[in-house]
Amino acid sequence: MLTSIAMLLMLAADPSQAQPSGQPVGDQASMPRRLDPDKTEHRATRDDEPTDPWFDRPRVATDDPAFVLAVVESSRQGIVDARDAASSLDNPALRLAAQKIGAQNEATTHRLENLAGRKGWRLPEPNPGRSSTNPSASPVRANANFIVNQISWHQNTVAQFRAQLAGHGDADLKRELREALPGYQKNLDLLLTLKP
């Protein structure tokens, strides 16, 4: 009995045993993942690519009402975070950047809320108790946190807008996104030059 269990364990661990697909058992991809021939430790760092090779699918356009709902919620939070940063950071260049980011988020939120009202799309509920997501820290750390968080947020926003523009969605929404995208890209370019 013990011998048969040992044989089963040895066969289960044998990489030469292949699945019907021809791939060894341990190298089979599961959805939505796919195999990456370049393992993470051997890959050169590339901009605008996720660091996890298993989740490297390009962004795609989503349902327009759901997209607007998510962007409005994110922009509302961005307004609060920018106001908090503009009043609490000690670096004047960062305070000015926070004001620009806040103005961009306010304009985008206002335009998308108006669009959603005209189209009959649902908007997120108001959150009067919304607080900033900026963590409290020492002045230099707070400056660095703001830059890193905003770079990440802007990269994500620019990628989402571009993906939505590439889809076959609502023409009015695409017009609003085309008008908003350069402002977010300009803010991202500014953030990439800032120092804590």
pLDDT at 35: 56
**Given this model, what pLDDT does residue 36 score?**
55
- pLDDT of res. 88: 92
pLDDT of 171: 95
pLDDT of residue 34: 55
Q: How far is CA 130 from CA 21, 43, 49, 80, in A?
A: 51, 41, 32, 7
| DSSP label of 125 | P
| Residue with tokens 């189209």, as numbered in its chain | 119
pTM (2 d.p.): 0.70
Parts of the chain with a pLDDT under 70: 1-2, 4, 6-57
**Which pLDDT score is estimated for 53?**
58
pLDDT tens, residue by residue, 20-50: 555 555 555 555 555 555 555 555 555 555 5
Residue 103 to residue 192: CA distance in whole angstroms:
19
Report angle CA 142, 143, 146 to the nearest 5 degrees.
Answer: 85
Contact indicator for 159, 59 with CB cutoff of 8 Å: yes
Q: Which domains does the chain have, with CATH numbers?
A: 64-125+139-191 (1.20.1260.10)
